[in-house]
Structure 1
Amino acid sequence: MVSIGGTASTTSLLRVMNERAVLAEIFRRGKASRPELAQATGLSKPTISVALADLERARLVRPVGLRTGSAGRAALLYEVRPEAGWVLAVDVGRSYVRFALADLVGEIAVRRDEPSRAGSHAELVVQLTELAAEVVAEAGLAAGDVTLTVFGTPGVHDKETGALRLAPNLPGWELPGAVERLADVTGSPYIVENDVDLAVVGEGAYGLGEGVDHFVYVSLGTGIGMGVVIDGRLYRGARGAAGEISYLPVGEGDPLSDPGRGMFESVASADGVVAAARNLGMVVDSAKDVFDAARRGDEAALKVVSAEVDHVAHALAGVVAVLDPELMVLGGGIGAQAADLLIGPVSERLTRLVAFRPPRIEASMLGADAVLLGALAFGLATARDLVFERLVAVTPPG
């Protein structure tokens, strides 16, 4: 026999499940009518009506107009109230910090980029806090209106110590408790994710990875890292360090000479490209200078590019052997600046390094916004659940 309390709990659970299914379908469609929601979810029209009434009462959805057809009555359309929640995405890099504040349907209200004060942990936290306050105020919001803040950073967040591991470009963040200081930036719930993991999420949501179940995003720039999507889902590994390909044993360097950098990163990152060029007598200030010289036919620069192709091809061969991705997306400063010099030769080299036909390699279309867009995509999915739990799941039915 089922007790009255058990029956009430079951009814409440079904109500929440129905409302969640209806809300998810409205998010997917943008606007939807009762008949469309019934057909898509398999729920009865009366159940749809009850769910919509509860969602509207919680101020999570609203009627937005009518859809007229060739016959029959016009259908009332519903959409999610964009201002029901807000996501603040933050890309924390060595050179720049980037902010984007978006409503619950993903429309960006405020965008801000600034040179990073990453030389000091304390100074960078102050900068992030000041910028967050400015961005939120510019949108006409208070700090408490932000549903979720997502920080994308280099390295791996050690949740036991609160330190950021494998992030030599952010001095001071390797100290215990350093990451927890981000709680003060907005005062809202927050998530810290690896920046390249977020970049692969962004590529899957808005770029070349959309609809691709198995792909990787390889960031070549100041540092080197890789984000991995397997079966359509981000793969982090046991300790969140999946994709740290900077430590692959690729190149001629001593892997112990710089404990802050992996062997592959020491030769193939922007600093590695510049060092190789200077060893050949070139006077350059950046990797971009080297690639520009290679396009002009400079012999030394072409040698540097050939070495970069060799390093990258060998690293990607290891990735192909282990993961067998369908697509490899190149991003980061070098991936963006030198795609025309790297992709063709790397693809050709891979055909001789792997057992099967290698995956296609393409340059990211998202550019410097890959991490920020990934933070938004990740944050929106999480914030929608948070808003639902806050506004709907705990609200008694009418």
Structure 2
Amino acid sequence: MERIKSGAGMADQSKISRRLSQSAVIQAIANYGPISRASVAKMTGLSKQTVSEIVGNLKDDGWVRTVGQTEGHIGRRAVVYEISPSGATVASIDLGGTKVRVALCDLTGKVLAERTEPTDPLGGIGVVDQIARLVGQTAKDAESDAKNMRVAVVGVPGVPDPATGAVLMAPNIRGIDQINLPASLTERLGVEVFVENDVNLAALGENWLGNQGEKGDLVFVSVGTGIGAGIVVGGELLRGKTGAAGEVGFLPFGADPFEPDSLSTGALERVAATSAIIGMYKSLTGKTCKCQKYLMQRRQKTSRP
């Protein structure tokens, strides 16, 4: 019996090892392609044989493609590879308190089509139905085969609970803390769905584009319907013990943190989010302004020396 358990454990370890090796190869090609197999091996520390096997499988499955050969080197030229844009599509969903934005992207991150509309005021399952409809419409706009969509990623203005699928600390979207969001969307879309804090995703995107996937450190702060921060340390998200490290809107600044509104929305968010800025503008000027872009332009002008 012990031998069976040991054998199963070794099989699991081998599978995990293969997945990690494959992930390392994909990241190297995505960040530094076009790139040769020898360069991938040097970069990842994997053997040339292992890299050749992984790249061959990725090419057969349509994930990578050849794009020529190395130039300017002495000796035999090597074939170079890059991510194949048409290998699959990804549905990217930005779920906010005021609007939902859906984009269909290829494997290089190029947006093929996108749609935006106000967030369903019903919240909860109403938002799930809205997202599913928008994803279907966006796929049609992109003239993309629905079967080519492999995964969907949802950015939410709150803290996803991995145990229940609920989104916590998201007062701007009604009922989102009462449903299993990833499970509900997976049922409707037919693909695996990942739910992550929207500002965390923005921070990861900034690190990917700005640091080419290197292990950088940065803090990304977003001010909109709510306030949040994404913290990247050594190329990895800093989540904190409860997953709420970036919920800076709840910092005890600007308003009494123990008032009911502060407990549900956040003290800092009450005075510094978009609605608070608009309210402050009206109290100072007597005018109503609904344009955040205009306020930012005014702020830039008045803050110049």
Given the two structures, how large is their TM-score scaled by the length of structure 1? 0.62
Q: Is the CA contact 1:164–1:179 (under 8 Å) kept in the aligned structure 2?
A: no
Change (3 A) 1:223 1:343: farther
Contact 1:172–1:178, Cα closer than 8 Å, also in 2: no
Aligned counterpart in structure 2 of residue 268 of structure 1, from 251, 272, 296? 272
Q: 1:98 aligns with which of 96, 101, 117?
A: 101
Please tell me the residue identity of whatever aligns with 1:156. V
Counterpart of 2:99, as a letter, is Y
1:212-361 matches, cutoff 5 A:
213-253=216-256, 255-258=258-261, 259-280=263-284, 282-286=286-290, 288=292, 291=295, 337=297, 340=300
Which of these residues, 127, 130, 134, is aligned with residue 127 of structure 1? 130
User: Partner of 1:200 in structure 2?
Assistant: 203
The residue aligned with 1:66 is 69
| Identity within the alignment, % | 34
Q: 1:43 to 1:149 in 2, by over 3 A?
A: closer
Which has the larger Rg?
1
Deviation at 1:278, TM superposition (A): 4.2
Closer/same/farther in 2, CA of residues 16 and 237 from structure 1, 3 Å limit: closer
Distance (whole Å) between structure 1 residues aligned to residue 264 and residue 14 of structure 2: 56
Structure-1 residue corresponding to 2:171: 168
- What is the letter of the counterpart of residue 25 of structure 1? A
How many angstroms apart in 1 are the aligned matches of 2:57 and 2:33?
A: 19
Distance 1:119 1:340, change over 3 A: farther
Larger RCO, structure (CA 8 Å, separation 6 or more): 1
User: Quick check: 1:129–1:184 contact (8 Å CA) kept in 2?
Assistant: no
Task: Report the Cα distance in structure 2 between the residues aligned to 1:261 and 1:179, rounded to whole angstroms.
Answer: 24
Q: 1:65 Cα deviation (Å)?
A: 2.5
Map 1:111-190 onto structure 2 (within 5 A): 111-177=114-180, 180-190=183-193
For the residue of structure 2 that corresponds to 1:147, the secondary structure is strand
C-alpha distance in 1 between matches for 2:75 and 2:294 = 67
How far apart, CA to CA, are the structure 2 residues paired with 1:32 and 1:192? 32
Tell me by how many angstroms 1:129 deviates. 1.1
Deviation at 1:133, TM superposition (A): 0.7
Distance in 2 (alpha carbons) for counterparts of 1:254 and 1:167: 17
Alignment-derived partner of residue 87 in structure 2: 84
CA displacement, residues 118-161 of structure 1 (integer Å, 9 cap, x when unaligned): 45434332221111012223334443432211101111223444
TM-score by length of 2: 0.78
Specify the code of the residue in structure 2 equivalent to 1:265. Answer: E
Q: Is the 8 A contact 2:183 2:193 kept in 1?
A: no
Residues matched between the structures, number: 299
